[in-house]
A and B are shown apart, each in its own frame.
Chain A
């Protein structure tokens, strides 16, 4: 076995050296007006050599290593337990979720401002991932341009507040509805495509929206973005030190407490929490409704679904539109949280991250998606100390995850509708 792998391992090691030397070893140095090329120093050379040896060793023992990795689930004590009966499982899941929500309600009052801010971001990603979960996980449509709908939501709020002075609470439904409308309009031409083709078209759509926002300087401010987006108010009470808008009062004066910047952050967090919970509940309900069943039926077997009188366009469009609607929700909250948005925030990487959350969490599983959203948002923050290697660590974690548990953190267990015996 090892003899068989030897040639392959040697080849991989050589490739490592050939690739690594020009990338890491060669440096461009400015010498006056000219640019010179400098060879690698000794430490880099040694590092490259060590890397090659590591690759060589890994490839040589690859089969053994991967087999060991495959055995890892056995370390998981829950791996081989009997599946719970559905009624019990649903009950437990709803208890766990309620517990998490109650905890999340009180948690921000005891932690630092930075953590609450980060948690708000996590909740925005939870909303996005739950929305994309409808499109990818339930309806089985691979959408790589999901961030476009997020951008539509955010820019709707930003533009409406800039030109028409509309408040957060007005913009929230408008942003979501406009995003849904974009979903509908995009959906019409592309939904006869499937699989890879659909993915490519949605990818293109995402980029078109971003480039449009970037270049339509007269309206969107182009790469400079839009600033001064107002924060949400609580029944006309503002959270700033001074009241900005005529007729509003300020929160701390009304309640006679000292001004604190934290009020605003916590309020925004609570809004995001409520919206995320609403998103989860609505989608949970949709999954058990005829629409949800139609999504899954179409994913399972499109031809059979059509032969039973399900309109492919109507069913796919509904999934696309509802997914976009929640992205619009998330976008509005995001714009309000940041106070400033630019096309920079809506690049393809965002779509990829949201998709990664859905896949990591387990397609179609809500609890899994929530956990994955937390993990994916917080991990890079925790790994901030590694700065340069952040994305590397992130990538490695993803690869390991896919090898070890390809079905996601908590794979979807469908909640069947059960036929009760009426004896």
Chain B
């Protein structure tokens, strides 16, 4: 469903991403790994439209999306989370999920002002969907708290729930396990697999936690210094000499 060909991103004299290609098929979890500063997040920013890539093609469900504005890409069904959690801190947990359903809601000003039955019905539907996802990630009890007051692990889960209420086809997670303890990482592991199995969402994942990556990924792409280094199944990547060199240094 997602096909990236020869993606390049140049900042002045710095070539942050150089000819990276990767693809994600339906019903698949693909991970992007690489040492710090390898350009993984830059790839993500290009895919989600925050950067305009300086070269290459991004095709999502048969449509070229490189250079499109971020909100349009998101509306096509490619939704991302962030390396540092970005919630609407002063809004309540459930409101965070309502904002995410903005484009599904009736945004007609007049029908909202006079509260037409149609408007109420949609508002109720979006509340129900929010409640469903809060229950799914185990935050239903905290629904009316300010999002900023949640514990870090809970904020991470809320961010994923916030993406899921937009009904994405491809979920892009940028280091979702960063800052989580082993137990939380295990829960996250199960959550991501369940998203794929139960909700038919493909996942593109950036992660440093190797146990998570190796456990759940169907395929892995390794990037080093902006260049693609290797790609394949977890066991293939684990055996790859170049990858071992890049991670452990040359002996």
Contact = CB atoms under 8 A, between A and B. Distances in A.
A300 B89 contact: yes
Interface residues of B, number: 40
Contact of A308 (B91, B95, B166): B166
Interface stretch (A194-202, A253-261, A283-291, A383-391): A283-291
B95 A417 contact: yes
Interface string B86-102: 11111110110011101
A293 B113 contact: no
Interface string A297-323: 100110111111111100000000000
Nearest to A294: B102
Counting chain A residues whose Cβ lies within 8 A of the other chain, the interface size class is 20 to 34
Interface in A262-295: 282, 285-286, 289-291, 293-294
A419 B144 contact: yes
Interface string A357-373: 00000000000000000
Contact of B143 (A286, A312, A419): A419
Contacts of A300: 88-91
Nearest to B115: A285
Contacts of B102: 290, 293-294, 308-310
A191 to B, nearest CB: 14
A160 B112 CA distance: 32
B107 A291 contact: yes
Contacts of A297: 88, 91, 99
Interface in B38-96: 48, 50, 69-71, 74-75, 79-80, 82, 86-92, 94-95
A419 B80 contact: no
A310 B99 CA distance: 9
A291 B99 CA distance: 9
Contacts, number: 109
Contact of B75 (A309, A414, A416, A418): A309
A231 interface: no
B74 A305 contact: no
Interface in A201-241: none
Contacts of A310: 71, 99, 102-103
Contact of B91 (A286, A289, A296, A309): A296
B103 to A, nearest CB: 5
B9 interface: no
Nearest to B88: A300
Given A308-B166, A310-B71, A414-B91, A290 B80 contact: no
A297 B71 CA distance: 14
A293 B92 contact: no
A352 B90 CA distance: 27
B108 to A, nearest CB: 10
Contact of A304 (B87, B103, B112, B134): B87
25 contacts: A286-B109, A289-B109, A290-B98, A290-B105, A290-B106, A293-B91, A294-B99, A294-B102, A296-B90, A300-B88, A301-B88, A303-B82, A304-B82, A306-B70, A306-B74, A308-B163, A309-B71, A309-B103, A310-B99, A416-B91, A417-B98, A419-B94, A419-B127, A419-B130, A419-B143
